[in-house]
């Protein structure tokens, strides 16, 4: 599993990212345009941070993994890191959402 993260190869990961971006585009949250822009920017930042965390997690030695329970543990760990990314993006993250809002907002 050295070439994959969470049991998914690079092509599958890219396809998943593309599907997630399409989901952001077609399922805009309810509210004003500014609220929608902020939400989509935060979702994009969370997606970016998830990819960053996955890359970082891939560098860990297998014996240093948080959970070592086979496939179920990999799914759990992937969901855990997804939640980490969501929380980080909603609490300020790395500022990517703020930059997107500044660039796109009228």
Domains in the chain: boundaries: 10-104
Both structure tokens of 32? 């004003």
> Is 79 within 8 Å of 55 (Cβ atoms)?
no
> Is 49 within 8 Å of 17 (Cβ atoms)?
no
Closest C-alpha to 67, from 6, 9, 10, 1? 6
What are 45-102's pLDDT values in tens digits?
999 999 999 998 888 777 766 656 778 878 888 899 999 999 999 998 899 999 998 9
> Measuring CA to CA, how many Å separate 74 from each of 20, 23, 39, 54, 78?
20, 24, 28, 12, 6
What are 4-60's pLDDT values in tens digits?
444 555 566 666 666 666 665 555 556 688 888 888 999 999 999 999 999 988 887
Phi and psi at 5, nearest 5°, equal -120, 120
């Amino acid at each position: 599993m050295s070439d994959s993260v969470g049991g998914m190869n690079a092509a599958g990961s890219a396809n998943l990212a593309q599907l997630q971006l399409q989901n952001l585009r077609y399922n805009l949250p309810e509210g004003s345009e500014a609220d929608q822009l902020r939400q989509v920017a935060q979702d994009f930042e969370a997606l970016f941070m998830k990819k960053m965390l996955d890359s970082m997690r891939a560098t860990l030695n297998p014996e240093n993994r948080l959970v070592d329970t086979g496939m179920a543990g990999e799914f759990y760990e992937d969901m855990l890191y997804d939640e980490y990314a969501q929380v980080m993006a909603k609490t300020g993250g790395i500022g990517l959402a703020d930059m997107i809002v500044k660039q796109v907002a009228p």
